[in-house]
Structure formats: C-alpha cells, structure tokens
Structure 1
Amino acid sequence: MTTSTTSPRQAVFRTFAASDGTELFYRHWPAPTPPEDGSERAVVMLHRGHEHSGRMEHIVQELGLDRFHFFAWDARGHGQSPGRRGDAPDIETLVRDVDGFVRHIAAAHGIPPENMIVLAQSVGAVLAAAWAHDYAPPVRGLILGSPAFRIKLYVPFARQAIALRLKLCGNFFVNSYVKAGLLTHDQERAASFRADPLISRAVSARLLTGLHALSERIVADASAIAVPVQLFISGSDVVVRHGPQHRFYEALPHPLSERHVLPGFFHDTFGERDRDQAFAAMRAFIDSVFAPPRERGTSRLPAPVRSALLWADRVGPSARTYRRLEAPLPLSSLRGLGFRLLRRLLPLAAPLSPGLKLGRDTGFDSGATLDYVYRNTVGGRTAPGRLLDGIYLNSPGWTGIRRRKELVEELLELAARRLRTEGLPVRILDIAAGHGRYVLDMLEKIGPDGWDEALLRDIDPHNVEMARRRATERGLAGRVRCVTGDAFDAAGLAAIRPRPTLVVVSGLYELFPDNGPVLASLQGLAAAVADVGYLVYTNQPWHPQQELIARVLTSHRGGRPWIMRCRSQTEMDSLAAEAGFIKTDQRMETQGIFSVALARRMSAQSVDAQNADTRDDDAGDDDKLGDSRASLPA
C-alpha cells in the first residue's frame, strides 16, 4: 500500500443535509491515486470537542494512503457548520449526524460503507463508538484516539452539580479548562490551537451530561460492537480517564481489534509530537482490515449472520445475562431482598394506579398495557394514585416506547412514499398489531391517497376486536381488515394474499429470546412480501431496567416473569438479512433503548448469492476459532 503523497492534497469544501435538514460542512480530500481494483475507499474523520475538520488536515498529509479518499466534517455547533457554538439538540442528534454523514458519502461519492474506515478523536471517538453500537454499520473498522468516555472534572461533585443545575434552570454553557499545552507537546500545533478563530472553548451542559450517559451505556455494552476497533490511549492524558477506555477495549469481540497505550502522550493523540508511532500502527491496522478473507487466517471472524443466528441467543453476553436473570437470587442477597420487597408491594400499589393494575391483570408486555402507555394519560382516583401512575408512565422504558411509536410511524410514512414514487401499491401488514394504534395513527397522517389497504393481525382475539373497533371509529373499516393470526406461523404469513408491500413488526421480537422463531417469522414475511417491498422492524439493544423488570414484573404469557434478552443491532439486522431484508434506514430513540429500522426486500437471487458468499468466506474457519478473540466462552 502506498503511504506517502508526492504533494499536499487539496481539500474540496462541501455540505450535506442532516436528518433535520441542517446543512453541515465537511472537507473532502480526493484520492490522488486510482484504486488498484477499481474499488473506491475512504477514511472518514470526526474531530474532537471544540475543534473542526481543518484541525485534522495534517492526518491526511502525514498518514498518506494515496488510494484513499479522506473526509472530515464540522459537527453542528463547530467550525463552519451552523448552530450555537458547543451545542446541539442532544448528544443522540450528533450520533445520528454521523450516520447521515456516512450515508451521504456513500450516496454522493459512490463509496460503500464496507470500504470505509472511521477515524475519530476524543468526543468524536465516543460518537463513532456509539454509532457503531447503535446503528451496526458495515464499515471496515474504527480507529479511536483517546475517547472521552469519562472527562476528568477536577472540582468535587462537578458532574452532579452540572446535572442538577441543568434540571432546575435549563441549558447553560461551561468553558473548557484545558490549555493548548495540556493537549500536545507539539509546540507548533499548540500555537495553532491558541490562534484558531474557529475553536470555541464553551460546551453546553446538556451535551456534557448527555456525553456522560452515552459513554456509560456504550462502555457497558461494548461487546455489541461487531467491527474491528483500533484504540489509542494517551498515557499522560489529563483530560479523560483511562479506566473506561480499557474496559471498553476488553469487551470488544472482534479478533482484529487492537489497543495501543502511548506513554507520555497528551490528549491530542493524533496531533502529538511523536504521532508517527500511532500513524505506523494505523497503516498496519488498515492493511489488516482490508486484507482478503483468506489472508486473515485465524483472525477471521465468522460472518455476522452466522454469529447472530448460531451463537447470540445461546452464548455471549446477552445469553449469559438472560440465563442470570432466569436464575433466582440467593436468599441472602440484599439486591434479591429489594426485588422481593418490590414484588410484594406491587399488589398493594396496583389498585391505586390504573397502569400498574392493567399490567398486573394482563401482563406488562401485553397489547392492552402498550395501548395504555401510548395514550399516556395519568389516571388514578387519588392524588397518591395519580402520582404513582405518572411515575410509572414516565419510566425510561415507557418513555422510550412512546418515542419508538413515533419513529415507527415516521419510517412507515417514508416507506409508503417510496412505494408511491415507484408506482407501487401500499398494502400494509402488521403481524402483531395489538390494538392497532400506531398503524391507524399513521394511516390518518398520510391521508386516504397515501395507502391502499391494511391488514392488522394479532394472536389475541381481544386485541383484534379492539383494533377492529378503533378502525371503525375512524371510518377506516372498509380498507382495514383485522384478523386473528400467529406472528410466528411462517407458512401462514407466507400465504397472505394479496401480497403486502409494507410490513411492520413493532415490539414483538424483543419479547422472545430465541432466534429460531424470529428467523422463521422473518422468512415467512419475506415469502409473503411482493417482489418490491419494505419491512419496518424494531429492536431493543439495551435496557437500563432489564433486571428490575425481570425480577418484579410479569409477562402476558401465563404470568411468568418478564425476562428480556437484548439483541445487538448487528444481531437483529443479520436476522433480517438472512431472511432477505437489507436495512436502508434506521432511527434510534434518545435513550438508546429502542431502534426502528427500515429494510428493503432482496430478490431471491440476491439472498442466494449472499448466503453463498457467507459459506465461502467461512469455509475452514470453524476449526480455527480457538486461536482468535472470537473463541466461544466455556
């Protein structure tokens, strides 16, 4: 691989539209040397907090890689992008912006994500890690320099004070204490930092607190990041703490992942005086992740589809967590004592709160409970009851589910518009509709000309009757059919006629830990959907109250404990892909609990070709897994 250019590259200035329409600035350094195999490749760079894309230009010149395009953005509120300096609507907006940036590069420059490396520093590194976790992009790898998983705040209780003031008084700004001399030993780079008019030292409190919450979630669930990661830790960093960086790396599953601790380096890892050490390692890492599968030898990770289908529901972190939640806690456990106390208090509190009572009567994961959560109207005959019901309705899970409903409707509308644009009918199928609220709400939003017919199925006759009643109340009975049906009956799904062109599965697969029934259901849908069609599906990659729910709440299935197994986004996308659906768009609710994805049905020929590629890539690898970081746990 060529690693040095004959002359400095010149950047082209461009913009792209983020998901909310905001035009964000970025730089593009075209590749000076054509690719040997005709396959364009790119390095996508995300700057650290306070800075901008121009501060990363030296990486382009010094790293070389003449056959790679380089791209670097100015995050909103930074550099030449709009927005108040050091601010954004929330930290999740920035993660979604990363997804939009990569999608724009793929569409506008013809470089698929599979041929991209994402290189990021500090706050940018946290955004890149969160994007890889939440959106499961098929990029070749991440290169992360000193990710700001935990910022050093030297004033005691500073983080708690910032969070309290934010809650009481609203957003405000905090100025960085970090001087240029604490970022790098490179005097020229430190001087340019001090003189740069585009650098802003302020950061909003909502971004600071959001960054902390996001980092804790990503570090705790780093095992869900499926792509190779090269992590650089600056040994003398006074800005961020090392502990979370090490914990993050130790949970990464990919065997090509690397950790490099650079003694004496300050926080600006890729701008340090001796950065050539890091750059040499980066070139070797890029070589390794772009090597053909046969050259990776024992480091070859099995294809994501096989990993998801054969392992994730039986081995690995999510399976271990599920088995742990199935087992009762020891009688001597203080945590177990607390959960037992909550279980005994629940029957006493339920009569006061309509939401708790409904959950006790029908199951906290039932269609009736979800309909109550969607209505989001506090009930109760007494002040304590209304207070209790309000706390219940505003728990993280229910808040996330209401946002999930909005995102489901958003992607259903998007798919319906695409079908209309392609001159195709909009025939909607919901295989577990409950009371049908979100589909019926969406149909009213897009209007009578935006869809042709809808079929709402549910295994519970009561839910079917409620959906039928709601459709009649809205004057939609002539075009909306409501029938009883099993969402896991693959043959029954495949036989649905007329063929649907838009299927939605919301909040269903998250309730079932085994991948076999989920895959069978998806395969039935693939057989049912017309040659051109879309699938909207939801996922729950993480939940902050997973153990509380498992130890205290009951399911609609016979009153058993409601134990959930969280699926990584890679796992869920792989199941959809195995059935014949390829993700085209995704949304994430702000807490990171729920995702909503839109996928397009592949042709049968494409599915066969994909499975053939998977079998070819994995041939001979099974006997080598013991030599790699992907080894199955005992």
Structure 2
Amino acid sequence: MPVQNLEALSRPLPAWHPKRWYFALARGLLQTVGRLSKGIRIGLEHGFDSGVMLDHVYANRAEGTGFLGRAIDRAYLNAAGWAGIRNRGALLEARIVGTIMRAAEAGGVVRVADLACGGGRYALNALARVGRRAAVAATLRDYRTENVETARANATRLGINATIEQGDAFADADLDRLGTVDVAVVSGLHEIVDDDARVKNHVRQVARILKPGGTLLLTVQPDHPQLEFIARVLRSHTGKAWAMRLRPMELTRRWLEAAGFVVEHAEMEPLGIFGVVRARKA
C-alpha cells in the first residue's frame, strides 16, 4: 500500500463527509452494545490487533453477555478478516509441522523460535502435531506480558513443553540470546509495522540467528477488504488507529533475497488476504 494512502487513512475525514458519520456511528455501537461481545471487549481493552484478540479469533468460540452478546460475537468472528486470520493460522501450522519434520531428517534436535507468538496457538498446535516424531526445542516469545501468559496457558492445556518468555523481536540483544536456530517463525508482526526500513532490516536480523540452510516462515498481507473501516473504527494495541500496512508479495521476496534467503514456497490462504512464505537461508 502506498505510504500516502496509509497516511490518508490516519487523517480525520472532513466533518461533512458521510463516511465520517458512518464510522462515528460504528465506533459508538462498539463502545455500547458491542461490549456485550467478548471479542469486542478484548479489542477495546487490549487493541484489535493484539495477541489476546488473535487468540480469541483462533479459538473461534462465540462468547458474550447473554444471547445477544454471543450473537454479536459470532458475527464479529465471522468477519472476512478474522476468517482469513484463521486460514493463515491453519496454513502456517501446517508449514511449521512440515518444516520441522524436514529438518529432523538430518538428525539431532530441531531448534525452533517463534519471535512474536501472541497467544501461541498455531505454533503450539504444530508442536502437538509433531509430537514424538521429532526432537524439538521450541522457544516462543512475545514482548507483551498478557500474550506470554496466554501462550503459557495454551501450552499447559496442550501438554507442550516449550520455553515461553518475554522478548522483543526487533532487539538485537534479545535475538542474540536465542543463539542459532533451525526454524524461525515471524507471524503477523510485519503487518502491524508501517516502517518499511524497519521490516527490511528485521529480515536481516532474523537471517543472522538462523543456521545455514535454516528456514524462515514469514506471513504477508498484500490485501484486506475492510482496510478503511478498520483504520477509521478500530484501535491497535498502541491505542492509535489500526492503519494496516499492506505489502505486495514481490516486495517481501526482494527483501528476503537481499538478506541472503532463497524463497522456496509462497502460498496465499483461500480468501487471498494473507499468505505464508517459506524461505531458506543460503
């Protein structure tokens, strides 16, 4: 998405614009009757792009106050963007399983790091599917305490033994503490960062912690059908408007290749909103 369009979504609409009235009404409904929905309450408290929010979306279980609250939550969870997120999670989960099993063929322990795990569902589900078929040492990180706590609860529920800790995916010192890994996962992180230079550099940072021949699994978001509604109505985990940065797949490919990766596979989920890229460190 061009920078000027992103900036335009962050600017208030003129007072006379009908869309301004529509979006104001939508915000009012979220703040009132919308609070009956658990998902909307989570979004208002933690941000609609937060790890806590995504964990509720992945669970896909309508919850709320009374029948109306549950009905609102079901409609909310059925939104195209959230359906795409669940598709992305299923696709990424399958890619994690396949990548671990392929790495395990070389023998030894496969070291996996999810650098911004949120509630950790897709990674933990993947580890559960791998089970005893491979020896895995997994580290799941997130920089927000509530996400780490959610991921730990999910790991306990699934009976998964993994290191789950707080860490900044963009901090060199935190990345260095991981040592070198066989598989790195970056899901849903770059999509909430609007600084292209920071994302491009992060690809290089991840390359540094991967072993030669190691694999990066990276999510991308080239499109979104509700872009303006989200930017005008919903708040992110920072408290600011949730103005997404859309990036074409080709741009991500160029950044990966410049960082020394070979893109082996790229696949979009069925709705065409999100994709998963598998890249090998040359």
* TM-score for both structures, normalised by structure 2: 0.95
2:172 matches 1:474: no
Which residue is equivalent to 1:532? 213
For residue 573 of structure 1, what is the aligned residue in structure 2? 253
What code does the residue aligned with 2:259 have?
A
1:492 aligns with 2:158: no
Equivalent positions of 1:3-402 (< 5 A) are: 317-402=1-86
Q: Distance in 2 between matches of 1:398 and 1:556?
A: 17
Task: Describe the superposition over 1:197-220 as per-residue Cα deviations: whole angstroms up to 9, x where unpaired.
Answer: xxxxxxxxxxxxxxxxxxxxxxxx
Of residues 270, 275, 280 in structure 2, which corresponds to 1:590? 270
1:447-500 deviation line (CA, Å, top 9, x unaligned): 1232421001110122212222332333333xx111111011134314422x21
Distance in 2, matches of 1:527 and 1:575, equals: 14
Residue number in structure 2 paired with 1:218: none
Please tell me whether residue 435 in structure 1 is matched to residue 119 in structure 2.
yes
The match for 1:83 is none
1:424 is displaced (CA, Å) by 5.6
Counterpart residue identity of residue 371, structure 1: D
Q: Distance in 2 between matches of 1:542 and 1:563?
A: 13
1:450 aligns with 2:139: no
Q: Secondary structure at the match of 1:351?
A: helix
By how many angstroms is 1:567 displaced? Answer: 0.3
Aligned partners of 1:370, 1:381: CA distance in 2, in Å? 20
Q: Which moved more, 1:350-359 or 1:377-386?
A: 377-386
- Distance across 1 between alignment mates of 2:115 and 2:30: 32
CA–CA separation in structure 2 for the residues paired with 1:320 and 1:464: 35
Question: Does the CA-based 8 Å contact 1:349-1:356 persist in structure 2?
Answer: no
Give yes or no for contact 1:494–1:526 (8 Å, CA) kept in 2. no
Is 1:516 matched up with 2:197?
yes
Rounded Cα–Cα distance in structure 2 between residues aligned with 1:503 and 1:384 = 42
Mapped to 1, the partners of 2:127 and 2:5 lie a distance apart of: 39
Within 1, Cα distance between the matches of 2:117 and 2:135?
17
2:108–2:135 contact (8 Å) kept in structure 1: no
Deviation at 1:386, TM superposition (A): 1.9
Deviations 1:298-343 (A, max 9, x none): xxxxxxxxxxxxxxxxxxx522220110111111101111111111
Whose helix fraction is larger, Structure 1's or Structure 2's? 2
Which residue identity lines up with residue 562 of structure 1 in the other structure?
W
Could you say which residue in structure 2 is the equivalent of 1:290? none
Amino acid at match of 2:110: V
Q: Distance in 1 between matches of 2:265 and 2:72?
A: 37
Q: Distance in 2 between matches of 1:424 and 1:502?
A: 14
What SS does the aligned partner of 1:532 have?
Answer: strand
Contact 1:540–1:566 (CA under 8 A) maintained in structure 2: yes
Partner Cα separation in structure 1 for residue 154 and residue 228 of structure 2: 35
Cα deviation digits, residues 358-392 of structure 1 (max 9, x gap): 11111000000000000000112322222211110
Q: Is contact 2:127-2:160 (8 Å) kept?
A: no
Instruction: Name the SS for the 1:392 alignment partner.
Output: helix
**Preserved CA contact (<8 Å) 1:488 1:518:** no
CA shift, 1:524, in A, is 1.5
Deviation at 1:405, TM superposition (A): 0.3
1:552 aligns with 2:233: yes
Aligned to 2:185: 504
Contact 2:24 2:233 survives alignment (8 Å): yes
Q: Give 1:526 deviation, angstroms.
A: 0.8
Give the counterpart of 1:562 among 242, 246, 251.
242
Corresponding residue SS for 1:501: strand
8 Å CA contact retained: 2:101, 2:130: no
SS at structure 2 position matched to 1:364: coil
**Higher RCO structure (Cα 8 Å, ≥6 apart):** 2
After superposition, the Cα gap between the structure-2 partners of 1:320 and 1:491, relative to the gap in structure 1 and judged at 3 Å, is same
Residue number in structure 2 paired with 1:601: 281
Percent identity, aligned pairs only, is: 39
* Structure 2 Cα separation of the partners of residues 381 and 467 of structure 1: 25
CA contact (8 A) 1:586 1:598 kept: yes
